[in-house]
Amino acid sequence: MTASNTTAPWYRHFWVWVLILLPLAVITAGLYTLFIAGEHPDALVVDDYYREGLAINRRLDREAAARARGIRARLSLDRRGGLTLRPERGFGRSLPELELAFIHPTRPERDRRLSLRADGSGIYRSDGVNIAGGRWHIRLRAPAEGWQLDTTATLEKGQDLLLDAGAESAPTIE
């Protein structure tokens, strides 16, 4: 009496394919993760920590100067992309130029830096700003006067934003 050996070939067994596909899926996911990391590097890492630390000290001095002067201004973004900055307090004489920066918290390619010049009435304007809504760091700076006002706000077009160096809280949205 001979026993007939009728086992199926290896590729017909379910568990063989499970044992092959699980490690293959892990390897594929790892390669895809490596591809994503290479295509979108982390932009939040600073290369020169020492220089960045020195810049923080200068920035704090400029912010203290803004608080001492009581700098206050109203920033308006209209729906067509126009920007208006109306000084309210602490500016003194009309400054020839102000720097206004919109800094995105995570995407440096979205940052916008504007140079604002006063018109005849002392109001600073800019057209075609086109800032997207969302959370932004806003930096208003007068290089000639040595002060700087930093704040964080959630922007939407058609709103007014009160920038106040003396305020301890977030800017007022009106």
Report domain extents, the chain.
Answer: 70-173
Q: Which amino acid is at 49?
A: Y
**Residue 43 C-beta-side C-alpha neighbours within 13 Å:** 11
Residues in the chain predicted with pLDDT less than 70, given as ranges, are: 1-5, 43-57, 167-174
pLDDT at 147: 85
For 29-77, where are the E strands, in sequence order?
A: 72-77
CATH class as words, domain 70-173: mainly beta
| Contacts for 84-88: CB closer than 8 Å, 24+ residues apart | 84/123, 84/124, 84/125, 85/116, 85/123, 85/124, 85/125, 85/140, 86/123, 86/124, 87/122, 87/123, 87/124
Span 7-50, pLDDT tens digits? 889 899 999 999 999 999 999 999 999 999 988 877 666 666 66
Structural element, H or E, at residue 35: helix 14-39
**Residue 84, Cβ density class (10 Å: 0-12 exposed, 13-18 middle, ≥19 buried):** middle
pLDDT at 47: 66
pLDDT at 120: 78
pLDDT at 53: 66
pLDDT at 169: 47
Structural element, H or E, at residue 24: helix 14-39
